[in-house]
Structure 1
């Protein structure tokens, strides 16, 4: 996709209405020939809007005003480009556990969780968070993850997790201030609730760290899966990760993950993990598809705030 279209699409399908700031910025970037030319210098995966916007915020750049953003980005382009090349989008959103919970609660317990693209591992603690599906609470404590659920009954229990591990090319550490600063920079400016949720979830992870392995989703997944306890149900899952993986590697992963013992949960865009027949999505916003073992179950929004069950 041309870079201009990438940014205009992000503005209209993702940032709207969750972040008017990023919607405005992305539209301005999509029309700015100098910024677009600078972005053309970096590899295609490094041009994505979430990555650029987070990098500028991490470097202390302004995002409230498109002109100020442009001036900072152009003036500091060598530093921006270096960060773009070295980093990847690692939106470690604990709210996505609300999408996983109905599936996890339905599987034979206890569970051994293995997350592909785990970042700091915040997605590995669905049993430690509390949830609210409309007016239906599940669990207690903090953070409370809100999800508008339609099409199925909300779950009535938390899963029992006895093992949790994550695989990532660049695992993050919630006890490292610079890693937490990167996670914070990835949160959209207006979404203060997500920022507070990050702090609460990071405290849970820091108190009981998971096994985080630096590795590749094709080369290293089998070995890590083999470390799961044999008396637990292995669940391999990933949420909004595979769009960053080259198509050939992605296809190799998809062919392999379905052959592992246990179960496989995917939450990805329908052009990333395609299915032959899907009902129309609920709206024009970018929806992902939740699936279990290759069977599509629901349309979901990217940060876990909405799930429309159709299975």
Structure 2
């Protein structure tokens, strides 16, 4: 969210996080973000940190990890004055890895339309919780009523969609899964999973997400996928090259490219769109990212589209849906004529 220096830019980013992303879903984080934006001393403090450590979700999670009271902004501000060094130490040692299994509910519709079996390659995989869409159960609320797809685990995801015909009849057949991440998370590591839980925003709307994360972590810990440690720009082609030839290769990501600068986003887009030619096979690219990530995608969005709190889902660079950032909604009507 923040790719440049300058206190005005930082304050604007925190205000945007509160009013556009946290609004309506995490009242506490909305208060904290707006409070940060209006506090020149805190903005100056953030400006002195490395850009990676200025992200609202990382700072807020580090505050919670160190015992910040979850009530008013006044209390949080006062607490931070005496605990800033602990917050910095946590933010320096850890990273923002919102590994949200609920996003599989918005990945299932495009995955279900592909010829199977599937080979999944996720960039920014963290613990790999989104690499198991075939193991989870789903309940879709549609205009025609509820549609249930049973799973083989304790993970049950809920999603509201505006069209009945986007809901598949069954989960896909996944025969291979790999991930790439700068700092892979071991789903069997209790401390690492506890940090992932802390990255989930506070509030009753998110309590179910904590339960889902714990259940999905158990699924992954029982059958851990290979997650390559490294940069997505460096390792994408090598990881893709070992996918089985008799499966449809799907490269996907959610809320990952927003943390790259614009030139590196463009480099990634070039790499993934050229994979098919270089590997001599079909490759499908599914992206869940915010408005503003790719100008080429933004130029194809319907006029006046409000993407607040949602990702623009694209398939091979073509926008097809608005996907709730945590998987709770999936809207295709704006993209259908």
Matched, 1:180 2:193: yes
State TM-score, norm by structure 1: 0.95
| 1:58/1:181 contact within 8 Å kept | no
3-state SS of paired residue (1:115): strand
* Runs of 4+, deviation exceeding 6 Å: none
Deviation string 1:175-210 (CA, Å, 9 cap, x unpaired) is: 112211110110111111001001111111011111
State TM-score, norm by structure 2: 0.88
Q: What residue in structure 2 maps to residue 286 of structure 1?
A: 309
Give the alignment partner of residue 254 of structure 2, picking from 215, 222, 239.
239
> 1:43 deviation in Å?
2.5
3-state SS of paired residue (2:23): helix
Q: What residue in structure 2 maps to residue 161 of structure 1?
A: 174
Q: How does 1:20-39 map to 2 (within 5 A)?
A: 20-39=27-46
**Alpha-carbon distance between aligned partners in 2 of 1:83 and 1:247, rounded to the nearest angstrom:** 27
Q: What residue in structure 2 maps to residue 74 of structure 1?
A: 81
Give the alignment partner of residue 136 of structure 1, picking from 142, 147, 150.
147
**Alpha-carbon distance between aligned partners in 2 of 1:277 and 1:235, rounded to the nearest angstrom:** 22
3-state SS of paired residue (2:237): helix
Provide the aligned length of Structure 1 versus Structure 2.
311
Q: What residue in structure 2 maps to residue 171 of structure 1?
A: 184
38-47 vs 251-260, which deviates more?
Answer: 38-47
**Alpha-carbon distance between aligned partners in 2 of 1:221 and 1:139, rounded to the nearest angstrom:** 32
Give the alignment partner of residue 13 of structure 1, picking from 20, 37, 44.
20
Deviation string 1:87-112 (CA, Å, 9 cap, x unpaired) is: 32100000000111011111010011
Q: How does 1:19-98 map to 2 (within 5 A)?
A: 19-98=26-105
3-state SS of paired residue (2:312): strand
3-state SS of paired residue (1:252): helix
3-state SS of paired residue (2:192): helix
Please, what is the CA RMSD of the aligned residues? 1.6
Give the alignment partner of residue 11 of structure 2, picking from 4, 22, 27.
4
Q: What residue in structure 1 maps to residue 221 of structure 2?
A: 206
| 1:10/1:23 contact within 8 Å kept | yes
> 1:53 deviation in Å?
0.6
Q: Are residues 63 and 37 of structure 1, via their aligned partners in 2, closer, same or farther at CA, if it must alter by over 3 Å?
A: farther
**Alpha-carbon distance between aligned partners in 2 of 1:152 and 1:137, rounded to the nearest angstrom:** 12
* Residue ranges of structure 1 left out of the alignment (5+ in a row): none
**Alpha-carbon distance between aligned partners in 1 of 2:38 and 2:214, rounded to the nearest angstrom:** 36
**Alpha-carbon distance between aligned partners in 2 of 1:96 and 1:148, rounded to the nearest angstrom:** 12
37-46 vs 165-174, which deviates more?
Answer: 37-46
Matched, 1:270 2:318: no
Q: What residue in structure 2 maps to residue 222 of structure 1?
A: 237
**Alpha-carbon distance between aligned partners in 1 of 2:28 and 2:197, rounded to the nearest angstrom:** 16
* Residue ranges of structure 2 left out of the alignment (5+ in a row): 3-8, 277-282
Matched, 1:193 2:208: yes
Give the alignment partner of residue 251 of structure 1, picking from 263, 266, 269.
266
**Alpha-carbon distance between aligned partners in 1 of 2:95 and 2:263, rounded to the nearest angstrom:** 19
| 1:25/1:63 contact within 8 Å kept | no
Q: Are residues 212 and 70 of structure 1, via their aligned partners in 2, closer, same or farther at CA, if it must alter by over 3 Å?
A: same
**Alpha-carbon distance between aligned partners in 2 of 1:281 and 1:133, rounded to the nearest angstrom:** 27
| 2:323/2:329 contact within 8 Å kept | yes
**Alpha-carbon distance between aligned partners in 1 of 2:50 and 2:293, rounded to the nearest angstrom:** 19
> 1:300 deviation in Å?
1.6
3-state SS of paired residue (2:232): coil
281-290 vs 83-92, which deviates more?
Answer: 281-290
